[in-house]
Amino acid sequence: MASSNDEIRGVLIQAAEERLLLPNATVAEVLARVPVEPIADAPAWLPGQISWHGWQVPLVSFAQLTGLGAESVVASSKIVVLKALGGSEAMPYFALLTQSFPRLVSVPRDGLLADATEEQLPNGVRMRVLLGDEAALLPDLESIEAMLGDALAAVA
């Protein structure tokens, strides 16, 4: 049996036709049936914000941000609230839109392989990986936070 040091806990979420692999430690909560308040003049990849534990949390459509597909907020949408890594007091959390419930996975430290088939990755993607026989994207959470900060400053 593998010890916990040999595995990393992750969360797989669906974004359009792609799967994202997120570190479990960044996920604060998964929500369903949450009202989304639109943000006037925001880019299409920023469909709005949600109220969560007293915070106004911006909601990102990863598929639209990266140009990998179209997603819209529908009644069955799920929202994954993430802890922001940038340390901003104004935005300690942001959220990602998904159309299905996330799946918790254990990733063996030696079981995650970089997939170098693409020369250029979309903005917001750090790396494409293979997790066993499944392909997934590792999002660049820091760059997403920076794009989010710029977009919110532009509409303020």
What DSSP designation does 151 have?
H
Averaged pLDDT in 10-residue chunks for the chain of 156 residues: 69 93 95 93 96 96 93 88 88 94 87 75 91 89 94 91
| 4-155 homologous superfamily | CheA-289, Domain 4 (2.40.50.180)
Q: Say what the pLDDT of residue 133 is.
A: 81
pLDDT at residue 5, as a whole number: 67
Please state the domain extents for the chain.
4-155
pLDDT, position 86: 83
pLDDT at 114: 80
- C-alpha to C-alpha distance for 85 and 88, rounded to whole angstroms: 8
Q: What's residue 1's pLDDT?
A: 44
pLDDT the model gives residue 11: 95
C-alpha 21/C-alpha 122 separation (Å) is 15
Helices (H), the chain: 62-66, 141-155
Please give the pLDDT value at position 2.
Answer: 46
